[in-house]
Structure 1
Amino acid sequence: MERIILDVDSAGDDILAVLFAAISPSMKLEGVTTCTGAAGPIDQVTNVVLNTLALAGKGDVPVAKGAWRPIVGNSKEDMQAPVHFEKRLVARFGDRLKKFNPPAPTPTLKVIDKHAVDFIIDTALANPGEITLVVTGPMTNAAMAFLQEPALAKALKRMVLLGGNFITPGNITPLSEYNIWADPEAARVVLNQGVDTILVPLDVCEDNRAAASMLTRDDLADLKDAGDHPVLQMLQDSFPIYIDIWREFFDLVGFPMDDIITVALAFDPTLCTMTEPLFCDIVLDGRVARGQTVAYRGRQLLPGGGPKTTRICTDIDGRRFMKLFKETIVRYQTAKA
């Protein structure tokens, strides 16, 4: 059984990732750490996680609040781009947007009395070689943990990181994907640690070449008759708008399951085809290129490079992944019974 810490920024697929990790028989969710990102301020991010775990009946999973801002970040106007994106959708989807990233109500569960960075460090050092760190949002917490504790890199078993793009155009600039762009300094720190790493780029998530891995209304229909557990009811109520936005606004066949794919790779790396281990670096300069993920694949004349420990996902067995997701989520009804 894979033991993971899941670090999230609580966008829509993060919710599914938390639910998936909490019920999967193939992993033990040691804790969830939160970071400011696409869903908004750190309190919103954290409350979404607490409410999601309460809905799932998993109140025993520790939740640690983390970074409220990136290490450096971009301009204030640019950092608010996800918020402005939601405003642009109002004219198109109207009241239906009430189901899209709504303000989280005050949770009944509480965070633990420990910062996310300290939770990551303490858990990994207490269990050397056993903890996989899965990061599905900006990498701020992970970077600060590495900077604070030099022994962390050798203590972790592996990292699985969601971020970057190599073939598929970026979703912030043509060259940059959101998680990396939101805190490129943090991503550079993390990718330079020499830890065995799987990197999950947009190429295998938010591209119609990976259509079979996307959530569609057909998939919701498959789950509709699975039972009346609150988790299954929430999926039916909340995720049609996510599917429609990504179909109508982003021209994808369904809602991309980036975060859940990243979690699943922690215990089944065979879901994706990957490169051999290589070095990945992050562009920090400029505006269009800032946050670009660069893979060292050849022999360059200028000096540079770093640890060749990152395997980049290049393809996904989407049908097998979606089958795994649905079989895992319906376990909530079995657990209820």
Structure 2
Amino acid sequence: MSKLQVIIDCDPGVDDAAAILLALASPEIELLGLSVVAGNVPLDDTLANACKIIGISGRRDVAVYAGASGPLVRDQVYGKYARIGTFADDLMPPGDIAPARENAVQFLVRSTHAAAVSGDPITICAIGPMTDLALALTLHPDTARGINRIICMAGAFRALGHRTPWAEFNVYADPHAADVVLRSGIPIVMMPLDVTFQALFTSEHIAAFRRGGRAGEALCKLFTAFDRSDIGRFGRPGGPIHDAMTVAWLLRPELFSGQPAHVGVETRGETMGHTYADFTGKLGRKANVTVITGVDEAGFIELLTERIARHAGSCARDGHKREAEIR
């Protein structure tokens, strides 16, 4: 069975770390690279965090590409935890991974063009502002031919927002980029806050990440350092790990339920970044997104926990390989 070719377009970020490590631990996925954009934190910090994540995983074959340092049009905004900047060394140790020289947009264009020629389109996991992807689609419209689907952590409907009362952060940070992607005609699967809020990781679940060697230990420290629980909003202990759901859907789509809808985004005014979904056809417009509406919470938590634990073996194998090279 051939592996699923995936590019993760991200803005690390704690949630991004979980999604990336999940993909790296999954043999079903061939991770072609990370396209990194400013979002949760400025670009220099998202790049540094991405390099640390790749470094601690031992996967030196996965390159990190620097993308846009800001949104297409709007003033720049950062995530709730922007103050964290680059992950502190005591949370995630430094390594020697450096970003590739090629720009992330060039990487996306090159990879999708090659995929179109080979007849094996790429899946894009978009778990940050979609600036790089929008630039690739705008500058080189034939980029779309090499993309099988886009699975994105984006939007909020019944759940409302988390960065503002009306918007989910990834869309809020660059609504114009989200608009370009939504209008691209590429099949899109969207994980809105409505579904990511349904799976909450408690302190016990987070502690279980420690089984995953150095990578799992670092992930546990990250989630312990930045408490995501909100009993007032969620009604019970625990917090979501939003971005990892995109990779989980690729691995176990049977854990999720969804429905088609026409999804749009407000690109101006006070409610800029607000997403709307027409599930009943009131607008008379063709559905452009499969909106994920439900998740098997226990199944998702089990999948993420089990795959993170695999990093213990990966780190051991990487260590033995380096010892052999030294000998």
TM-score (norm 1): 0.84
Letter in 2 for 1:56: S
Seen in structure 2, the aligned counterparts of structure 1 residues 28 and 216 have a Cα distance that, compared at 3 Å, is same
Aligned residue in 2 for 1:115: 103
User: Tell me, what secondary structure is at the counterpart of 1:261?
Assistant: helix
Q: 2:15 aligns with which of 13, 20, 26?
A: 13
Contact 2:79 2:169 in 1 (8 A): no
Seen in structure 2, the aligned counterparts of structure 1 residues 222 and 118 have a Cα distance that, compared at 3 Å, is same
Aligned residue in 2 for 1:246: 229
User: Tell me, what secondary structure is at the counterpart of 1:151?
Assistant: helix
User: Tell me, what secondary structure is at the counterpart of 1:239?
Assistant: helix
Pairing 1:130–2:121 present = yes
User: Tell me, what secondary structure is at the counterpart of 1:275?
Assistant: strand
Contact 2:37 2:66 in 1 (8 A): yes
Pairing 1:311–2:290 present = yes
Structure-2 separation of matches of 1:55 and 1:67: 25
Pairing 1:281–2:264 present = yes
Aligned residue in 1 for 2:280: 298
Compute the RMSD of aligned alpha carbons: 2.4
Per-residue deviation, 1:281: 1.0
Per-residue deviation, 1:248: 6.5
Structure-1 separation of matches of 2:278 and 2:220: 43
Aligned residue in 2 for 1:258: 242
Structure-2 separation of matches of 1:238 and 1:300: 43
Contact 1:134 1:266 in 2 (8 A): no
Aligned residue in 2 for 1:92: none
Structure-2 separation of matches of 1:176 and 1:6: 22
Q: 2:80 aligns with which of 57, 79, 82?
A: 82
Seen in structure 2, the aligned counterparts of structure 1 residues 299 and 80 have a Cα distance that, compared at 3 Å, is closer
* 1:71-220 to 2 correspondences below 5 Å: 71-74=72-75, 79-80=77-78, 82=80, 101-102=87-88, 107-128=95-116, 129-205=120-196, 207=197, 210=198, 213-220=199-206
Structure-1 separation of matches of 2:16 and 2:57: 14
Per-residue deviation, 1:184: 0.4
Aligned residue in 1 for 2:254: 270
Per-residue deviation, 1:299: 4.3
Q: Which runs of 5+ in 2 are unaligned?
A: 318-327
Per-residue deviation, 1:235: 3.0
Per-residue deviation, 1:109: 1.0
TM-score (norm 2): 0.86
Structure-2 separation of matches of 1:327 and 1:106: 25
